[in-house]
Amino acid sequence: MCGIFGYFGKKENAGEIVFHGLRRLDYRGYDSWGIGMLDGDSIVVTKQAGKIPQTITSLPTSSIAIGHTRWATHGGVTKNNAHPHFATDHSFILAQNGIVENYQSLKQKLQKKGYAFSTETDTEVIVRLIEDKNKRANNFIDAVRTAFHDLTGRNTIVLLTKDGTVIGARNGSPLVLGIGKSKGELFLSSDILSFAPYVEKTVVLENQQIVEITNNKFRIISINTGKQEKYRTEKNTISNTRVDKDGFDHFMLKEIYESPFVIEQIYNQDARMLKQLALKIKHAKHVYAIGSGTAGAAAAQIAYYLRIYGSMHAVSLIGAEASDYYHLFTKDDVIIAPSQSGETADVLEALEHARSKKTKIASLVNMPGSMITRMSDYPFMSMAGPEICVMSTKIFVSQIAWGYLLAKTVQGNYSEGKRNLQSLARVMSDYLHSKNVLTQIKSLADRLKQSKHIFLLGKAQNLQIVKEGMVKLVEGSYIHAHALPAGDLKHYAITLMEPGVSVIVVISNDEVKEDVLNAVNEVNARGASVIGISPANHERFTFHLQVSDLGETSAILTILPLQLLAYYLAVALGNNVDKPRNIAKSVTVK
């Protein structure tokens, strides 16, 4: 949540460079934005509430600038609350990604000392705290360091001083330094993707580290000790990544159509590390798959595959609700963490506890250099390319396809799993290019756009698929949707079935097919309309979307019609498809 971007170099259009960097970061938050630039011996700030516009004019000439795109946590979405924030004497500006959990107590102490506050944000507390520490510090870096010692929570900042120094400090939320292709150019950002076209090498800051940029040079300093630290540069491997819609109306639709490609990326990876992880899992006492949001549904599907095909004791955990398992983690366990960003705060907290217990960690992440990747004993990359739409689609497909192949490897049938994924990719491509399929889904979206409630039913391999379908419908349409196990229907939700209610049912040709059809009969008998997603039609279906029978990988295919339905519903309702209200893609705060 929130995106940070900074530029230090020789070019005189630093503000414009930062502006375009923020546009590549706005999936992290788009409530407001701001840019601060060095203008002579003073700092000029431009900021606005609302989404970042397509273009910007009238920025002053400058070679140093920092910027921020906000997802609001403290204080309303206003221009005043937008970052960066000025020091009282305008000697520096500061932007933050994170939450100061103890900001109220810090604010009260600072107010007693006479400091005034002009915003509702917790970020302004960091600004005033640094000002206060600077009165007694040996130098400005020490003021930043000692201020960080007083903060609780995950906080990362970037600031610009009027003498032209840029400082970044990390604790929890990500921060990456980019070393430009042009000599003397340095970048700071919340992720590599935002500056990928311009940099040759990167340095990922670790927690409790500061980077100081001045006179076209940088150094890394420990927040704890104040001493300069060694760092490791990494070659930028995504410099040619394109971020455009490629002829599609929205990024979401483009990314759904990239699903066959991401499956190919999974089965074409070197199998050696997958087989090493499979061997470790076979000897593990327990396997925990952990994620949040869409990655939470993926984690549950991965655990399902490990139970069914790997015969493992595997359970799934939601990141924010995993704390009651912390004391159960042991060195004999394995944790699997799928994540798009690799920076999800509540998952990172769980992994930190796991590392303290010496539990082995495996991860599948799409963002290079992420914290989850760096914490993992078995770090896997999706290599799916950038996913710009805030609603995750292709990365979910990547995660569950990887989980399936992992489970088949544990089973001892890696080659069979790979062949099944190869067939799945071909069928997915045919499905996405069927004009009849798209016509049907558009028609269904038009029928459902007036709905107040949508229910989804599934079982076994399709249970997490309908849960993820629910997530996509809620995110894209803002319509209330509720997913539940088909067998649990009669225990409570049957009371809500009546004429006018729509129920989406996902069915595969497996051993639980008849159980799910029983649920279809039960809701249909109460007058509800049933939308069936299945290989075969059924007399109780009001509307049928046909999908191929692919056996073990059927569930991975059935997510496509649900993703497409969410997309076309969002379009039909006039919602912002790629940037749904109130959510951000990278959740770096708890």
Phi and psi at residue 287, to the nearest 5°: -120, 125
Which is catalytic among the residues 133, 285, 585, 590? 585
CA 513 to each of CA 72, 438, 534: distance values in angstroms, whole numbers, following the listed order: 45, 26, 10
Spatial neighbors of 138 by CB under 8 A, at least 6 apart, are none
Report angle CA 23, 29, 35 to the nearest 5 degrees: 50
- CA dist 144 and 128 (Å) reads 11
Catalytic residue selected from 2, 133, 254, 360: 2
Residue 105 makes CB contacts below 8 A (sequence gap 6+) with none
Residue 585 known to be catalytic: yes
Name which of 128, 121, 221 is nearest 170 in CA terms. Answer: 221
Contact by Cβ (8 Å): 155, 126: yes
Do the strands 234-235 and 199-204 form a parallel or antiparallel pair, or are they unpaired?
antiparallel
Residue type, 440: Q
Which two tokens mark 264?
Answer: 């190919």
2 noted as active-site residue: yes
- Collapsing DSSP to helix, strand or coil, 216 comes out as coil
Instruction: List, in sequence order, every beta strand (DSSP E) within 520-560.
Output: 529-534, 543-546
Beta-strand runs (E) in 283-347: 287-291, 314-318, 334-339
Residue 171 CA to chain centroid, in angstroms? Answer: 18
Assign 3-class secondary structure to 273-313.
Answer: HHHHHHHHHHCCCCEEEEECCHHHHHHHHHHHHHHHCCCCC
H helix or E strand, kind and range, residue 93:
strand 92-98
Indicate the residue type of 78: T
DSSP label of 573? T
Q: In angstroms, rounded to a whole number, what is the distance separating the alpha carbons of residues 192 and 25?
A: 10
DSSP-assigned letters across all residues of 460-529: GGGHHHHHHHHHHHHHHH--EEEEEEGGGGGGTGGGG--TT-EEEEE--SSTTHHHHHHHHHHHHHTT-E
- Residues β-bridged to residue 70: 32
Sequence-distant (≥ 6) Cβ neighbours of residue 139 within 8 angstroms: none
The residues assigned a catalytic role are 2, 585
